[in-house]
């Protein structure tokens, strides 16, 4: 944990006035969608959307823990380590926003697993170099980008679909940086994500 | 009873593999698609956000031990074959209402290739 920093969740005012933050605030997702008061009154009226958000939350938990495993592996060197910690912070922002939204919609957020569980599932013991860590991270970020894009049509609420698009954009940014760090070429064709 | 089920599952798996091959599905491309689209939640051998996929062709939906399925999938009578997987990937909610995946693969060719890759990873 020494290689990570806690995400400082900005207040609503700070979030709304910040132009530099990449992470969504805990209160942000529905505030961004402009439906905070509406969400509070949903009372579980949209279980399908809550279900999608909970799957997304599980995905964010895994991303946070994947970066944690990378950060504490000792394999990442500065400035790559700093970038990984920043991306982990973004995922923590996504997590907090998703939890807040699920709760406001009357749902129950899924729980995070133990770090060891993620390590086993992601075969963290096979990571032997910085390239291995970045390759894993890039694979997960690409998958997350496509996952968020892929569930957009399933949302009943168009504003939540828009938020999924914003989350996908964050993941695409992460993938692009990681892909570049790995020395891989840019995608040859247009529209590389979501299909 | 268990033997009968195992034989049925094996038969379904073989049928699925054959069906995919007959359709000209490309398992190698399916692997690439799997690793770019499915990998956020699934792995062949590890249960993650979604259940592990080894042996999925031919098994009952909702049957991976220790995975927290939606009640809908858990209660369904679906057996995963090339045909049911194709329906599922095209529209999971229509296939099993109340499921929690919601991710779709709109293109039939993509679905066939992904299923062909899954069929290459038997139990």
| Domain boundaries of chain B, sorted by first residue | 2-119
- The domain made up of B2-119 has a fold known as Cytochrome Bc1 Complex; Chain D, domain 2 (1.10.760)
| Facing residue for B104 by CB, picked from A139, A144, A153 | A153
Question: How is B2-48 classified by DSSP, letter by letter?
Answer: HHHHHHHHHHHHHHHHHHHHHTT--HHHHHHHIIIIITTT--SS--S
Q: pTM of the entire structure?
A: 0.81
Structural domain includes residue A130: yes
- Verify whether the Cβ–Cβ distance A52 to B102 is below 8 Å: yes
Are A184 and A135 a contacting pair, CB within 8 Å?
no
Nearest CA in chain A to B33: A195
Measured in angstroms, the CA of A112 and the nearest CA of chain B are apart by: 11
How many whole angstroms separate alpha carbon B98 and alpha carbon A148? Answer: 19
pLDDT in tens, B45-104: 999 999 999 999 999 999 999 899 999 999 999 999 999 999 999 999 999 999 999 999
Residues of B within an 8 Å Cβ radius of A: 35-41, 43, 46-49, 70, 93, 100-105, 107
Question: What is the count of structural domains for chain A?
Answer: 1
| Facing residue for A59 by CB, picked from B36, B49, B104 | B49
| Facing residue for A146 by CB, picked from B37, B47, B48 | B37
The range of the structural domain enclosing residue A52 comes to 43-181
CATH of the domain at A103: 1.20.1260.10
Structural domain includes residue A27: no
Nearest CA in chain A to B106: A195
- Verify whether the Cβ–Cβ distance A147 to B41 is below 8 Å: yes
Listed as ranges, residues in chain A with pLDDT below 70 are 1-45
Structural domain includes residue A11: no
Structural domain includes residue A155: yes
Are A85 and A138 a contacting pair, CB within 8 Å?
no
Residue A47: the pLDDT is 86
- Verify whether the Cβ–Cβ distance B102 to A151 is below 8 Å: yes
Measured in angstroms, the CA of A14 and the nearest CA of chain B are apart by: 31
Helix A47-71 to helix A130-151 angle, to the nearest 10 degrees?
Answer: 170
Best of A46, A53, A54, A58 to substitute, by most chain B Cβ atoms within 10 angstroms, is A58
pLDDT in tens, A139-184: 999 999 999 999 999 999 999 999 999 999 999 999 999 999 999 9
Task: Give the list of residues 6+ apart from residue A113 with CB closer than 8 angstroms, or none.
Answer: A61, A65
Which residues from B are below 8 Å from A51, CB to CB?
Answer: 70, 100, 102
pLDDT in tens, B13-24: 545 554 544 468
Structural domain includes residue A38: no
Best of A53, A146, A164, A168 to substitute, by most chain B Cβ atoms within 10 angstroms, is A146
Q: Is the ipTM of this complex over 0.90?
A: no
Structural domain includes residue A14: no
Structural domain includes residue A128: yes
């Amino acid at each position: 944990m020494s290689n990570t920093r806690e995400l400082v969740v900005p207040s609503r005012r700070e979030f709304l006035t910040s132009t530099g933050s990449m992470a969504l605030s805990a209160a942000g997702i529905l505030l961004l969608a402009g439906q905070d008061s509406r969400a509070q009154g949903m009372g579980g009226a949209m279980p399908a959307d809550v279900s999608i958000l909970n799957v997304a939350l599980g995905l964010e938990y895994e991303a946070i823990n994947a970066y944690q495993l990378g950060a504490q592996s000792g394999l990442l060197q500065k400035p790559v380590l700093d970038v990984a910690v920043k991306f982990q912070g973004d995922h923590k922002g996504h997590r907090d926003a998703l939890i807040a939204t699920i709760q406001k919609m009357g749902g129950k957020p899924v729980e995070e697993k133990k770090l060891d569980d993620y390590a086993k599932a992601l075969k963290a013991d096979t990571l032997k170099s910085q390239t291995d860590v970045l390759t894993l991270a890039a694979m997960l970020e690409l998958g997350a980008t496509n996952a968020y894009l892929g569930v957009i049509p399933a949302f009943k609420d168009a504003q939540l679909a828009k938020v999924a698009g914003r989350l996908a954009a964050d993941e695409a940014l992460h993938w692009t940086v990681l892909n570049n760090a790995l020395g891989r070429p840019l995608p040859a064709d247009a529209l590389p994500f979501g299909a | 009873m268990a033997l009968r089920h195992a034989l049925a599952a094996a038969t379904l798996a073989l049928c699925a593999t054959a069906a995919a091959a007959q359709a000209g599905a490309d398992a190698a491309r399916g692997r690439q698609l799997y690793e770019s689209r499915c990998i956020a939640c699934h792995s062949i051998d590890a249960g993650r956000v979604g259940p592990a996929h080894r042996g999925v062709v031919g098994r009952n939906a909702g049957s991976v031990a220790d995975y927290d399925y939606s009640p809908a999938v858990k209660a369904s009578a679906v057996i995963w074959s090339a045909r049911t997987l194709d329906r599922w990937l095209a529209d999971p909610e229509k296939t099993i209402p109340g499921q929690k995946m919601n991710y779709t693969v709109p293109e039939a060719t993509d679905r066939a290739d992904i299923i062909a890759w899954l069929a290459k990873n038997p139990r």
